[in-house]
Amino acid sequence: LTVLGIESSCDDTAAAVVTGDRRVLSSVVAGQAALHADFGGVVPEIAARAHAERLDHCVEAALAQAGVTLRDLDAIAVTAGPGLIGGVMAGVMLAKGLAAGTGLPLVGVNHLAGHALTPRLTDGIGFPYLMLLVSGGHCQFLLVRGPEDFTRLGGTIDDAPGEAFDKVAKLLGLPQPGGPAVEAEAARGDPAAVALPRPLLDRPGCDLSFSGLKTAVLRLRDQAVAADGGLRQGMRADICAGFQQAVAEVLAEKTRRALALAAVPVLAVAGGVAANRAIRAALEQVAEAEGVRFVAPPLALCTDNAAMIAWAGIERFRLGHRDGMDLAARPRWPLDERAAPMLGAGK
């Protein structure tokens, strides 16, 4: 089984070729960070236009790098949502064109299912398992029992942790993306030097919150600036260290609760924030204490890519799932919706 995957739901244009025996033959990702840098966030119109311009080339490069032609493929998988609608539409239209032109089956994939099924591609783990998805746009615990069987156990009620890292970096005058910058700064700081909250820890369940933490950092910064006439380097490092530790502690405790609820043998993580060494270590420790296996795919497959879409397509294809030319691009597509993708606008 050889499948082409296409991804264009946010600010990465990507194409990949993956086989049913878990080989990633190619994975091409064209980021758009430079295009959006001046705007302090992803601009949907710019993203959609860039996807439309780059998709053809990404697909050609993915096929060439894999050493295959369209004739060697068994199906075409494409992200059909959730995401920025202009980008998703660009990918879905290309996939439909390719499917119509070649007669290959078309499989629409949920972007989050792509992230959630990645540990099966990289590590071959079986069902069930607990997935913690922590990225710039998402934060949720998913109990994964099958390729289309996801139960959301909890998640953020406001910001995603990556978003919080990015905002904290901005508040402290550090470069974007904020995660790596805050982590590097935190290495020089003392987390105990500042007092930051542990949001929602006192509340039962697996929900998380990160916007209060960001506001608390803003207050610390303003106090420091008022006291010292500016943000001293040492203070900045302490704030970064304290913030990172607060995020790690909250994620670890909520993961412990999610594991207790899920009662599964594996904890898997995905998303850019899983690259953070302090957070990763805290999660690994929880897994060890709870006696479950810890799986974290390599970073290139943790962040947005098309190999995960090709793989999720393979999993759906094996279940007999096929989409027609009426496959709709969906801005919202909750993962725990049990039925096949609804046509038209999402809920």
Query: Which CB sits closer to Fe ion, 159 or 304?
Result: 304
When CB distances are held under 5 to 8 angstroms depending on the partner's kind, the choice from Fe ion, ligand ATP, none that residue 273 binds is ligand ATP
Query: Which CB sits closer to Fe ion, 111 or 221?
Result: 111
d(CA 123, CA 247): 27
Query: Which CB sits closer to Fe ion, 116 or 247?
Result: 116
337 annotated ligand binder: no
State the Cα angle at 137 between 42 and 65, rounded to 5°.
75
Note whether 280 and 296 are within 8 A (CB). Answer: yes
User: Where on the chain is the footprint of ligand ATP (CB under 6 A)?
Assistant: 10, 135-138, 162-163, 165-166, 177-180, 183, 271-273, 275-276, 303-304
Residue with tokens 């990556």: 162
Question: Any contact of residue 304 with Fe ion (CB under 5 A)?
Answer: yes
Query: Which CB sits closer to ligand ATP, 98 or 275?
Result: 275
Please name every residue paired with 132 in a beta bridge, in sequence order, or none if there are none.
141, 269
115 annotated ligand binder: yes
137 annotated ligand binder: yes
Region class of 291: left (phi > 0), else alpha (psi between -120 and 50), else beta: left
The nearest distance, CB 150 to ligand ATP, in angstroms, is: 15
How far from 189 is each of 213, 233, 242, CA to CA, in Å? 18, 9, 8
Local structure of residue 173 (DSSP, 8 states): T
The nearest distance, CB 276 to ligand ATP, in angstroms, is: 3
User: Nearest-CB residue to Fe ion?
Assistant: 304
When CB distances are held under 5 to 8 angstroms depending on the partner's kind, the choice from ligand ATP, Fe ion, none that residue 248 binds is none
When CB distances are held under 5 to 8 angstroms depending on the partner's kind, the choice from ligand ATP, Fe ion, none that residue 7 binds is none
End-to-end CA distance of the chain: 34
Query: Which CB sits closer to ligand ATP, 108 or 136?
Result: 136
Cis peptide before 177 (omega within 30 of 0): yes
d(CA 181, CA 185): 6
Query: Which CB sits closer to ligand ATP, 99 or 134?
Result: 134
183 annotated ligand binder: yes
d(CA 21, CA 59): 21
Residue 135: name the closest of 248, 310, 304 by CA.
Answer: 304
166 annotated ligand binder: yes
State the Cα angle at 135 between 34 and 87, rounded to 5°.
50
The nearest distance, CB 102 to ligand ATP, in angstroms, is: 29
Beta carbons within 8 Å of 40's beta carbon, 6+ residues apart: 170
- In terms of DSSP bridges, do strands 24-31 and 12-19 run parallel, antiparallel, or are they unpaired? antiparallel
How far from 245 is each of 190, 224, 227, 280, 319, CA to CA, in Å? 10, 19, 24, 11, 42
The nearest distance, CB 115 to Fe ion, in angstroms, is: 6
When CB distances are held under 5 to 8 angstroms depending on the partner's kind, the choice from ligand ATP, Fe ion, none that residue 287 binds is none
The nearest distance, CB 184 to ligand ATP, in angstroms, is: 8
211 annotated ligand binder: no
The nearest distance, CB 273 to ligand ATP, in angstroms, is: 4
276 annotated ligand binder: yes
The nearest distance, CB 303 to ligand ATP, in angstroms, is: 4
Query: Which CB sits closer to ligand ATP, 66 or 252?
Result: 252
Q: Residue 3: what are its φ and ψ, rounded to 5°?
A: -130, 140
135 annotated ligand binder: yes
User: For Fe ion, which stretch binds (CB under 5 A), given 49-57, 151-159, 233-241, 303-311?
Assistant: 303-311
When CB distances are held under 5 to 8 angstroms depending on the partner's kind, the choice from Fe ion, ligand ATP, none that residue 333 binds is none
242 annotated ligand binder: no
Binding site: residue ranges?
111, 115, 133-137, 166, 179, 183, 276, 304
Interface with Fe ion by CB under 5 A: which residues? 304
